[in-house]
Amino acid sequence: MTEQDQLRVLTWNVQRASAARTRAQVEWLVRQEADVLVLTEVSAGESGGLLARWLRERGYQVLLPDPAPEDRYRVLLACPADVGLEEADSGVPMPHRCVAAKVKSSAMEVGVVGLYVPSRGPRERRNVAKRAFQEEVSAALPGLTARLGAAGPVVVAGDQNVVEPGHIPAHPVFGAWEYDFYRSFAEAGFTDAFRLRHPEAVEHSWFGRDTGAGKRNGYRFDHVFLTTTHAALARDCRYLHTPREDGLSDHSAMEVVLDQTVSGIGTQLNSGQKRA
């Protein structure tokens, strides 16, 4: 096995960082040497622009859509200079929160979609934007592979602001429609890459407020989905907790490693069915 056989995708919610923290985030990201960066909760303001600029100065190609009116956040995709990056259309009406591209490295050609689902929103419009966006994504998923036109797998990565059915601990705040959104990936032919490699692991990418006795409820909000027909390429999918623990963001990062030499991984596993 050689590095030329692998493609690494890293996704991370950067928590609308200040300029100073953005600089530290860029330094951490560069050290990871990923082939594709999918960054969510990128500021619609100055620090988002700085993130793009500083990545370009470090030799990255960057896709960063213009911010939308009255939305503070967007998604950024980036690749090193030796990886081909071609912008694509995801078919989702909010492209600043659903950025798509065809990526070509020495290992393979893949479709990549960076996804950042809105949070629950203010009390007077609780879940309106979130539910509408999730419905639009679910509607686009069945045609996503054909739309991107990549020769290899399609990877959908980012902060979905929803947990899987059977999540530990259980969080009653989530409605059936939110679990249906998670299940819509399986229905459209995508597999949860983390569950593929870690069927029973209990791990969290974000933690809520202190619930007493120093305990904080954990949430597995950040996900990577991979076309099920290509699930055998997934060598690993794991959370990187160091940037959260070091205060670079309130989210852990996540990476998936796709490897042309991997074989024998059962593609029948589908977390939406397994944990429903």
Instruction: Yes or no: say if 145 and 102 are a contact pair by the CB < 8 Å rule.
Output: no
Q: What is the pLDDT of residues 198-254, one digit of tens each?
A: 999 999 999 987 766 667 789 999 999 999 999 999 999 999 999 999 999 999 999
Distance CA 177, CA 160 (A): 13
Name residue 100's beta-bridge partners. 88, 113
What b/e sequence results for 57-84 when a residue is b if at least 16 CB atoms lie within 10 Å of its CB, and e otherwise? eeebbbbbbebeeeeebbbbbbbbeebe
Give the pLDDT score at 114: 98
Long-range contacts of 14-17 (CB under 8 A, 24+ apart): 14/39, 14/40, 14/41, 14/42, 14/51, 14/249, 14/251, 15/41, 15/249, 15/250, 15/251, 16/41, 16/42, 16/43, 16/47, 16/48, 16/72, 16/73, 17/43, 17/47, 17/51, 17/248, 17/249
Q: What is the pLDDT of residues 61-119, one digit of tens each?
A: 999 999 899 899 999 999 999 999 999 999 999 999 999 999 999 989 999 999 999 98
Structural domain of 202: 3-274
Amino acid identity at 113: V
Alpha helix ranges (H) inside 8-121: 19-32, 46-57
Separate counts of helices (H) and strands (E) for the chain: 8, 14
CATH of the domain at 35: 3.60.10.10
Torsion angle of the four alpha carbons 71, 15, 234, 226, in this order, in degrees rounded to the nearest 10: -20
Q: How many separate domains does the chain show? A: 1
Distance CA 126, CA 128 (A): 6
Give the pLDDT score at 34: 97
Give the pLDDT score at 123: 63
Give the pLDDT score at 13: 98
Q: Which helix (H) or strand (E) holds 141?
A: none
Q: What is the pLDDT of residues 115-149, one digit of tens each?
A: 999 987 666 676 888 999 999 999 999 999 999 99
Over 80: is that where the pLDDT of 273 sits? no
Closest CA to 254 of 224, 275, 229, 225: 224
Other beta carbons within 10 angstroms of residue 151's beta carbon come to: 10
Amino acid identity at 46: E
